[in-house]
């Protein structure tokens, strides 16, 4: 009976150590959301209309919602980040303009999604 209890304690400690790996993509997601919300201040002026301000808030809000989902469920959130990255690439290609910023944001989103999925699998093993 005591061996079984000791084995359970060891596995709980191992799980806590391995779950620290999931903090890396969570921390990067927070940095990405803060970076997107950093640009909102540029559109908050009396000279511009409120629609400019709302257009600056929407991308950050989408990333914030996906980050909240990824915080609770890493697989679903990672998949949503990958889909969002694909959408950004397709949006850039459909517009016919090769905007480097669009592709950089898509690459960061892809990497974040793959990190969520990879570290979730690493913790599960």
pLDDT at residue 99 in the model = 78
- Residue 85 contacts residue 99 (beta carbons within 8 Å): no
Residue with tokens 């980040």: 81
pLDDT, one tens digit per residue, over 31-45 is 999 998 887 777 667
Provide the 8-state DSSP code for 96.
T
Confidence check: pLDDT of 18 > 90: no
The residue extents of the domains of the chain are 2-124
pLDDT interval class at 116 (50, 70, 90): very high
Burial of 58 (0-12, 13-18, 19+ CB in 10 A): exposed
Confidence check: pLDDT of 7 > 70: no
pLDDT, one tens digit per residue, over 64-115 is 999 999 998 999 999 999 999 999 898 888 887 767 888 899 999 999 999 9
- Predicted TM-score of the model (pTM): 0.77
Burial of 50 (0-12, 13-18, 19+ CB in 10 A): exposed
Q: Which residues contact 104 (CB under 8 A, 6 or more apart)?
A: none
């Amino acid at each position: 009976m005591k061996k079984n209890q000791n084995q359970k304690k060891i596995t709980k400690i191992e799980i806590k150590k391995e779950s620290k790996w999931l903090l890396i993509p969570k921390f990067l997601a927070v940095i990405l959301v803060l970076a997107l919300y950093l640009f909102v201040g540029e559109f908050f002026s009396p000279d511009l209309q409120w629609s400019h301000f709302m257009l600056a808030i929407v991308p950050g809000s989408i990333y914030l919602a996906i980050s909240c989902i990824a915080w609770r469920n890493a697989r679903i959130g990672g998949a949503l980040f990958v889909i969002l990255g694909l959408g950004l690439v397709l949006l850039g290609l459909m517009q016919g303009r090769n905007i480097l910023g669009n592709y950089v944001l898509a690459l960061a989103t892809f990497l974040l999604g793959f990190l969520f999925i990879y570290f979730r699998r690493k913790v599960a093993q």
